[in-house]
A = this chain, B = another copy of it.
Amino acid sequence: MAAERLIVVGGDAAGMSAASQARRRRSEKDLEIIAFERSPHTSYSACGLPYLAGGIIESEESLVVRSPQEFREKQSIDARVRHEVLSIDLENRRVVVRDLQSGRDQDEPFDLLMVATGTEPIRPPIERIDAQGVFGLSTLQSGIELRRALDTWKPKRAVVVGGGYIGLETAEAMIQRNVSTTLVEADSQPMNSLDTDMGEHVADALRKAGVEVVLGEKVEGLEVSRGRVSSVVTSRRTLTADIVVLGLGTRPQVEPAATSGLRLGSTGAIWVDDHMRTSREGIWAAGDCAETMNRITSKTVNFHLGTIANKMGRVAGTNIGGGDVSFPGVVGTAITKFGDLEIARTGLSSKEAESEGLDFVATSTRSTNKAGYYPGSQRVHLKVLAERPGGRLLGAQIVGGQGAGKRIDVFATALWNRMNVEDMINMDLSYVPPLSSLWDPVLIAARNALDELG
């Protein structure tokens, strides 16, 4: 028997990163590691699900980074899928786990606990939401089911509910499968984490690709015919649909942590310090279910992104293994793609900067992804937010052609270093005509923001 036992609640990005890092630093004899995962899969790429559904990625196995068997054989981590942790007893340091196949509950003691319960999809409180033909895209299982439905039913009309990242990527997947698609978004723009004008560029691209875009309408109900969904009813119209995909976002899955008495933060997610320690000694949390710090506002935030979950999990695992590292927080970077259009953001949007009470300029710039004269050069729209006065970079958004999106990382790095736009305008960025304009769009956008600051 090992000296100590670590139980990991949730076997995906954060949980298994933590388990792996802990194992690297502590041997099997020193630390037994058991991970319980409710779904049938460990460590998979949730961001790959729309591409699996769309058929771009052929096999579901390719999305699995490491299977339970691999965890067992390569790292001596006992990963048990289809096991759900129902409750945590912090006092007696035990969890109750249900084996979802047999239905049996079991009591398991732990010395250390790692909470990585991730998220649960937001489902609108409407009737018949559980009807056949209504899908989500939150777990690998849900991706497999959507894929299977598309393959076998061959639906003709899809309604995608929600115009965020998952909504957009799902719409792209539907288009690729020649399913005629309507995207419904309650807000007045798709991608409402972007400023209005940037959201309009996204809406344009959706429409050009043949997606019907319905904005400012809430889904109020579903109609069912012969046991399967047949239409989506919004506040203003009824949309025929033989398949419906919900992409309404996610909320942190804080149970059973919250009930057990672990402190939640102001965002509603599990409170952790920069070492991923929760409010109770020896209990750690990381990933989508936990809070982190926004480096721009210095306030706690709760993001649901695989990149952040992996990083937080790594930090937790290193510390569980006896290390001493901290997670430096985030700046709010995200990216997606719709067809040829790349869409990215980092830092604060205008709405967010306003709600922080900041005085700022938000400057729009139009540029190109290659030298203007180079064949195939495509438009790039940028938006840069800078604080007034002083010019501290607050955020950036990019919507544009090939290669435009990843330029957000330059802004993210600039934000990471608290740069002013004035410090950015002469940065030594790379240029060759097939890959950039002479003044990289990032530099032009920073300069325009500086000009607007006056």
Contact = CB atoms under 8 A, between A and B. Distances in A.
B438 A306 contact: yes
Contacts of A426: 311, 315, 327-328
Interface stretch (A180-188, A223-231, A357-365, A402-410): A402-410
Nearest to A62: B373
Contacts of A330: 428
Contact of A47 (B335, B336, B403, B433): B433
B438 A310 contact: yes
A319 to B, nearest CB: 14
Given A407-B406, A438-B306, A430 B45 contact: no
Contacts of A438: 45, 47, 306-307, 310
A427 B406 contact: no
A371 B407 contact: no
Nearest to A312: B426
24 contacts: A45-B371, A45-B438, A47-B432, A57-B374, A305-B431, A307-B429, A310-B439, A327-B426, A328-B423, A328-B426, A331-B428, A332-B428, A335-B430, A335-B431, A335-B436, A342-B435, A403-B406, A405-B430, A407-B409, A409-B429, A409-B442, A410-B410, A412-B428, A413-B427
B410 A334 contact: no
B337 A435 contact: yes
B375 A333 contact: no
Interface of A: 45, 47-48, 51, 56-57, 62-63, 169, 305-308, 310-311, 315, 327-328, 330-337, 342, 344, 346, 371, 373-375, 403, 405-410, 412-414, 416-417, 419, 423, 426-436, 438-440, 442
B48 A440 contact: no
Contact of A416 (B344, B346, B375, B428): B428
B435 A335 contact: yes
Nearest to A334: B430
Contact of A56 (B51, B327, B375, B440): B375
Contacts of A335: 430-432, 435-436
Given A305-B431, A431-B335, A436 B374 contact: no
Contact of A57 (B305, B334, B373): B373
